[in-house]
Amino acid sequence: MLLVEEWVSGEVYGAVMDRLDDLSRLGKFDVALIFGHTMPHFDPFQAAELFRNVAGVLEGDGVFLLEETDRFGAFFYRRAYREIVPEVRGEDYTVISLDEGYDPLRGVIRRGYYRLPGWEKIGEMETRYWDLAGLAGLGKALFEEARIIRNGEHGIVNVGDIIYLRGPHRT
């Protein structure tokens, strides 16, 4: 919030909500921000619902800015995807994640998390390895303008690539 307050003049309002919440009860907004590389937690159907909900609360020329990175390119094109990944190392343990399958109906990869030694399963997570073009293309269905601003172009330190969506379509 503090960085946003430095960037804009006028009232700045922040809300932490679930993508399924009725965002319209908050009113209309000029700008919506989602920062923190959060999109792997959304499958394509959930992402479409999220984008639709955000488009519904933006003013006619409103802007939706989404910070992301191209996971598909990094993991698959540059071959950085690994079936076994050491996630955390403690003094007497290591947590690893394993590839445990792919759901083609939701487009997500399932990872299992295990504590070593002992192979104790401590959790599971489903993730979608989004690419920037896929997110911008999804946004183009709901917004007049969709662009990708690479992190080297916007000049903001410690901020990834930005999906810029402007002018929600009204149906």
Q: pLDDT digits over 154-165, tens only?
A: 888 888 899 999
The C-alpha atoms of residue 103 and residue 11 are separated, in whole angstroms, by: 43
The C-alpha atoms of residue 55 and residue 38 are separated, in whole angstroms, by: 18
Put simply, whether the predicted model's pTM sits higher than 0.75 gets the answer yes
The C-alpha atoms of residue 112 and residue 124 are separated, in whole angstroms, by: 4
pLDDT above 50 (res 146): yes
Token pair in block for residue 84: 């076994």
Percent of the chain at pLDDT above 70? 81
